[in-house]
Structure 1
Amino acid sequence: MSRVLKRELRAAERARVPGGGHNERFPGFDVVQEAHTWDATTSGVVLERLGLQPDLRFFDPAEEAAAAALFDHLLGQWEEPRVPVVQMVDARLAEGQTDGWRYEDMPEDGEAWHRSLAGLDQDARDAAGDEGVCFANLSREEQADIIRTVQGLESKPWRGMPAGHVWSLWTRYACTAFYSHPWAWNEIGFGGPAYPRGYMRLGVDMREPWEVADTHPEEDPEGTSSP
């Protein structure tokens, strides 16, 4: 095992789910322990997400603060350690790794991020009646009120863009970053890359040997718990 891999494994062991603490739904599950079944390229890509993230290259300091507060609300990340969503989204935008499409009534993703984060700061100033206020300075509830307002506008314009399409931009980037991280995989019991190992048990409710049972399965429409 390489020195880099050992270091990333130690980092994963310090906090296996976002926010730390006990993984209540999938106790003891740590997807990184399956890294030995992945090929070298896959291991490198996944384990890099556990290491120190690069310095920001796209967001300026004000945008970083607004984005961090926004992502905390979208993902419910209120405690450390957090999945480094700001850094992961910043890297995507700096490298032009978009979804490959956009709404015709929206600017390019990078510009839309600049404008929407500036819009959050302007909404904060308008609400407070103070030009020295920014979105990140507001209380959590005040931030939530602004975010809910944007969400509720749906197809109506917000800061020169359709609010619903801004909401789509925010949630797409936030969820893509969050659910590409091993801590989030642990939290939802996802076994990680299947290549080259593959799957053996393809039937309904059948688990692979490395998977852990959900201790809080949702009830089905008949009112009985899944096995």
Structure 2
Amino acid sequence: MSQTTHYTDYDVMKEKPNWDPHTQTIVESRLTGSTDYKYLTLEEAELLRSICALLVDDSRGEIIRFVIGHIDETLSRAVGEGQRKAGVPEERTLVRNGLKSIEAFTLGKHTRSFYDLEEAVQLQFVRDWSEGTLDIGEHWIVKPKDLFHKLLSLTVDAYFSHPQVWSEMGYGGPAYPRGYVRTAIGQTDPWEAVRMT
């Protein structure tokens, strides 16, 4: 996919000196994705890489690597999820069993792993999955709809916290400790992105 942006000259990382040291460390760490997974296996990470890239329509390696690392970090923590529908497994179980289900489904139908399929076939799978029209057969351990919503939520959460994506959408990054001064509709602070027409 070719990325388009209205903020071609904007780089949120130029604002780094205006952030406190803790914020600088957090944001900088997002520029490199780790492959030292705490929860995911390498096979699960590879499968997620294919799925997440399709969910956000962006296959840039460094960004998707960060997304997978962020998901792995989320799944590795033993913290509550806040809210979960009755009958839906905890997210780490949902994701692991869901990835097993996808792999069993694609091996049964195509005799290849999902990440080895042609992009058009992968895209059709994700489209059918999102629309609830996937012929799941007996391979699914979890409900496809529950898995789709969880993976979409985890993927979008990570993707839109990457500084490069911030720059492309014109987001100025953390405003702490500087804060925003011009808050009326249509006003921007001098350090915010200027839209190029």
Query: TM > 0.5 between the two?
Result: yes
Number of matched pairs: 193
Percent identity of the aligned residues?
23
- Contact 1:120–1:146 (8 Å) recurs in 2: no
Match of 2:77 in 1: 95
| Aligned pairs (5 A) from 1:79-118 | 79-83=60-64, 84-96=66-78, 99-118=81-100
| Aligned pairs (5 A) from 1:15-94 | 24-51=5-32, 53=34, 55-83=36-64, 84-94=66-76
Residue type at the aligned position of 1:115 = N
Residue type at the aligned position of 1:186 = S
- Normalised to the residue count of structure 1, the TM-score between the two structures is 0.77
Gaps of 5+ in 2: none
| Aligned pairs (5 A) from 1:1-227 | 24-51=5-32, 53=34, 55-83=36-64, 84-96=66-78, 99-128=81-110, 130=111, 133-153=112-132, 159-216=140-197
SS of match in other structure, 1:161: coil
- When residues 168 and 210 of structure 1 are mapped into structure 2, their CA distance, relative to the original with a 3 A threshold, is same
Distance 1:213 1:70 in 2: 33
Question: How far did 1:170 drift?
Answer: 0.9
Residue type at the aligned position of 2:67 = V
In terms of mean alpha carbon deviation, does 77-86 or 189-198 score higher?
77-86
- What is the RMSD computed on CA atoms of the aligned residues? 2.4
- When residues 206 and 98 of structure 1 are mapped into structure 2, their CA distance, relative to the original with a 3 A threshold, is farther
Question: How far did 1:208 drift?
Answer: 0.9
Which of the pair is proportionally richer in helix?
2
- When residues 52 and 157 of structure 1 are mapped into structure 2, their CA distance, relative to the original with a 3 A threshold, is closer
- Contact 2:98–2:141 (8 Å) recurs in 1: no
Residue type at the aligned position of 2:177 = P
- Contact 2:38–2:76 (8 Å) recurs in 1: yes
Distance 2:190 2:116 in 1: 47
- Contact 2:101–2:142 (8 Å) recurs in 1: no
- Normalised to the residue count of structure 2, the TM-score between the two structures is 0.87
- Contact 1:103–1:165 (8 Å) recurs in 2: no
